[in-house]
Structure 1
Amino acid sequence: MNTRLFFLLSLLLVATRLQAADKPNILFIFSDDQCFETIGAHGLTDIDTPNLDRLAREGASFSHAYNMGSWSGAVCMSSRACLNTGRFLWNAQEATRECSQGKRKSWSQLLSSQGYETYMSGKWHVGGMSAPKVFDRTGTIRAGMPNQKPAGYNRPKDQADYETGWKPWDKAQGGFWEGGKHWSEVLADESVTYVEETADSEKPFFMYVGFNAPHDPRQAPKEFIDMYPLSRIKVPENFIPQYPDQGDKGVPIIRDEKLIPFPRTEYAVKVNRQEYYASITHMDSQIGRILDALEKSGKADNTWIIFSSDHGLSVGHHGLVGKQNMYEPAMRVPFIVWGPGVKPGIKIDAPIYIQDAMATALEISGQAVPDTIDYKSVLPLLDGRAKQSYDNIYGAYINSQRMILSGDWKLIAYPLLKKVKLFHVENDPLEMNDLAGNPEHAGKLNQLTTMLEKLMDEMNDPMTTLAKADYPRSKEKQ
């Protein structure tokens, strides 16, 4: 080889390595089914999450982070497809196919092109896209959810049924205990090992750590269940024995909703919330192990951490259990950003989407967010370049529900029922006072309906025509 050419190539290689070494590491931690209210530091629920509290105290919390919804009962699949392709809901399925065909780069591949080593372990569940093909390294790839045995459904009917029934710490029930060690612990083991193995590497890393918890079966070691005696558990203020608009045309009665007996009882809700909180606290302890390993590696000062969840969960709110609805507990999740220069303890109320994590990581890596990415980085909200990212927040569930959040107002539409609900979420955060039938708010109802229809067009919503035909219109107060 020509000496001069060899010298130039050597300089280029050194420059590339130096550039990569200057880039911050990115750790993305993603839970499953975690409602926005379940971070102890936020003061919304009596729950112990010391490690997530630390991230919230030392980083920035986004109080209104939303998932867009789903094209199927498995809400996590659509959420994760949007997250890893960067496309809005109704375009994400095609985008996953494009990624699998090499016609589009996934989140991890975009970071890999910037010199990052990409690593993924835990829950993946992105249909049509293989994690080992889009990440440089992978640990144990988990299925959509641990196996739930029949005994884990329709429980507990009463205290006697609980005493003789399914227990979350019983390893014989499988689920998270399949393999002998709780899946959250296995994920932490693998993540800690990866951090230790890369401690001396100059190459920046992108870690995608996907917990299956706190998805059901809500299992945890008994000591974590014991942290939450039922006397500590509060039933949600908006609890009702049964949601009135359940069924194929409204909120479906599918797997999630069958976990607790009908009609709902305060006792059953308390037990399920007990197990939900215990699963989250157990997961939090595993997150603490990863944070400790990062600190020990010496790389914490040059690492950004983004924590969020794929969607929320009802667990008793409005008489519902699952995430296949448009209420805040199902749509809204925690979203925390921790990293160099982030002002500690700040809270940002501007609404965002969960999937903004992707665009945020791309900006952190130093690359411009491609035009092919629909979501937006939250860094402008952190550094003052922007006051808000979106004018309105959109939500959808298959062909039966649509939602728009605009400022302090929220409209939930059931096109197949020809019914809408209107809430002033600032004054009524628990969404208990439906104003759709109040003539004083007919103008707001009509305004939001029109805005939703326009937003559906922008989102390439396949139900736009039907929705326009089905939405009722209120008459202005005379």
Structure 2
Amino acid sequence: MEKQVSRKNVVVIMSDEHNPMYLGRAGHPFIKTPHLDALARRGASFTDAYTPSPICVPARAAFATGMRVHQTRHWDNASPYTGTPESWGHVLQRNAVRVESIGKLHYRNATDPVGFDREHLPMHVVGGHGMVWGSIRDPILPIGEGKRMLGENIGPGESPYTEYDRAVTHTAVEWLRDAAHDDRPFVLYVGLVAPHFPLTAPQEFFDLYKDVNVPEAKLHPNAGAVRHPWVETYAQCIPNEERFRSAQERRNAFLAYYALCSFLDDNVGKIVSTLDQTGLFDSTHVVYTSDHGDNVGARGLWGKSTLYQETVKVPMIVAGPRLPIGVTCDTPVDLIDMYPTILDVAGLRWKDEMAGRPGWSVLRLDELPNAQQRVIVSEYHATGSNTAGFMVRKGRWKYHYYVRFAPELFDLETDPGELRDLSAIPQYLPVLADMERELRRVCDPEAVDAQAKQDQTAFIDSLGGRDAAAQMGERGATPPPKTKIAA
């Protein structure tokens, strides 16, 4: 059909727990992501993109509102977004732009006014309150025995999550086919779950990696590495590595993560192919990103919840009519930049809608003075942490500030794998001082830590206290809604 070049459409695809190193485009030696690689060749890849928080609910609330976690006080997986502060969806609605969602949001429920005209197959936190046990901190509540976080069946197969992603993708494809016959411009958000655990991957994708020689995980305690005490607390709270039943099952965990990245890629490919088939691609900006990354065995850790590159970095690809083709941008960016970016590509006056929000449209990074020294902050106040942790990225330096614990400092220019903490070396004291000053320009970390704990304690007390809260919420992955793909 005829291309509709006058329209300003946006498709935002957000996955869950996608470590950006696991992309062919990122130079991974064997990961197969042909569709995401092709999308990157049609637009811009942001190699230094970060999450505002390395855990689902706070990251998604920040993504929606364009505000930092400590600004909105969505601290953990039991404090979901309810519709305030205003989201980019609300701005689109006020400007009469059609805006709908399909798939995972991880907000409170489907009735809150979060900024979508309609939610299709929405996945929200369980019971409207989510993982309350994870709000118990200082001292933390160890996860103990019972359901394994990574899943009971690790390896090839289907799970409710893979079934859900298939249904979300099918619904998105049908939605776009219908939209091609509608003159109204639109913004469509698509929330996919892979490669989030459970680590069960469809056989056809698992088979892509069955002969792979799995690389040794870096900085593993079994090889003599010593984890930072703040990180060790998290590791003891959720002991994933210790709960593999065999060496083969541990290998399967790696293969399943690789396979889920390829499964995700296949679903993204179906969505982008539909844009091409319907003639919508030339009038549509496509954004691909994730809410946070995954440790994938590094330091003996799985899941998110640390401040290392594996979990605080996210993939980010933006393709569309107003972007150069096949470029790579290493200016640091943040998921909170998606608030102005989505408004910008939708054709709105985004600067008029910021109201003190710290983000910037990624299409206009050349307008920022000294952009390479832009400061990015991520923070964590959730499961397995007795105290708050803050990450600061500025230029070549990456700094971790842990309340009541010693900091960490890494030179990403000479040590991109964060193998050597420089914080105890006297010559780096001026760098440490500068990075702490940058953090304190953004917030008072001790005051934020105290506020988070005050809010979490009040919430726990409202539910009957610590003992009652300890029994509330999933120990593993949030269950998706029941779905069925039409024949």
Pick the TM interval, shorter chain. 0.7 to 0.9
Indicate the residue corresponding to 2:118 in structure 1: 137
Measure the CA separation in 2 of the matches of 1:273 and 1:289.
Answer: 25
Corresponding residue SS for 2:347: coil
Task: List per-residue Cα deviations over 1:256-295 (Å, max 9, x = no partner).
Answer: x433326999866543221111011011111111111111
Indicate the residue corresponding to 2:135 in structure 1: none
Indicate the residue corresponding to 2:44 in structure 1: 60
- TM-score scaled by length of structure 1: 0.79
> Quick check: 1:401 aligned with 2:385?
no
Corresponding residue SS for 1:429: coil
> Quick check: 1:115 aligned with 2:96?
yes
Measure the CA separation in 2 of the matches of 1:239 and 1:124.
Answer: 33
Indicate the residue corresponding to 2:302 in structure 1: 321
From 389, 392, 405, the equivalent of 2:375 is 392
Following superposition, the deviation at residue 464 of structure 1 comes to 9.5
**2:110·2:124 contact (CA, 8 Å) conserved in 1?**
no
Task: List per-residue Cα deviations over 1:281-333 (Å, max 9, x = no partner).
Answer: 01111111111111111111000001000001101112221211110011001
Indicate the residue corresponding to 2:66 in structure 1: 86
**2:287·2:318 contact (CA, 8 Å) conserved in 1?**
yes
**What's the RMSD between the two structures over aligned residues?**
3.6
**1:29·1:306 contact (CA, 8 Å) conserved in 2?**
yes
Structure 1 segments unaligned to the other structure (5+ residues): 1-19, 156-164, 467-478
Structure 2 segments unaligned to the other structure (5+ residues): 132-144, 382-386, 454-487
From 149, 160, 164, the equivalent of 1:175 is 160
Q: 1:169 to 1:58 in 2, by over 3 A?
A: same
**1:33·1:310 contact (CA, 8 Å) conserved in 2?**
yes
**Greater shift after overlay, 292-301 or 438-447?**
438-447
The structure with more radius of gyration: 1
Measure the CA separation in 1 of the matches of 2:16 and 2:262.
Answer: 14
Following superposition, the deviation at residue 152 of structure 1 comes to 5.0
**Greater shift after overlay, 126-135 or 317-326?**
126-135
Letter in 1 for 2:305: Q
Q: 1:384 to 1:94 in 2, by over 3 A?
A: closer
Indicate the residue corresponding to 1:5 in structure 2: none
Q: What does residue range 159-198 of structure 1 map to in structure 2 within 5 Å?
A: 166-171=153-158, 174-176=159-161, 182-198=163-179
Letter in 1 for 2:185: P
> Quick check: 1:414 aligned with 2:402?
yes
> Quick check: 1:335 aligned with 2:316?
yes
Q: What does residue range 211-360 of structure 1 map to in structure 2 within 5 Å?
A: 211-229=192-210, 231-241=212-222, 244-245=226-227, 251-253=233-235, 257-261=238-242, 270-360=251-341
**Overall identity of the aligned pairs, in %:** 26
Measure the CA separation in 1 of the matches of 2:348 and 2:412.
Answer: 37
**Greater shift after overlay, 443-452 or 277-286?**
443-452
Indicate the residue corresponding to 2:470 in structure 1: none
Measure the CA separation in 1 of the matches of 2:157 and 2:109.
Answer: 34
Following superposition, the deviation at residue 227 of structure 1 comes to 0.6
Letter in 1 for 2:345: I
Letter in 1 for 2:56: C
Indicate the residue corresponding to 2:25 in structure 1: 41
Letter in 2 for 1:118: V
Measure the CA separation in 2 of the matches of 1:229 and 1:99.
Answer: 40
From 421, 431, 452, the equivalent of 1:444 is 431
**Greater shift after overlay, 84-93 or 294-303?**
84-93
Measure the CA separation in 2 of the matches of 1:403 and 1:89.
Answer: 13
Q: 1:97 to 1:31 in 2, by over 3 A?
A: closer
- TM-score scaled by length of structure 2: 0.77
From 83, 87, 105, the equivalent of 1:106 is 87
Aligned residues: 423
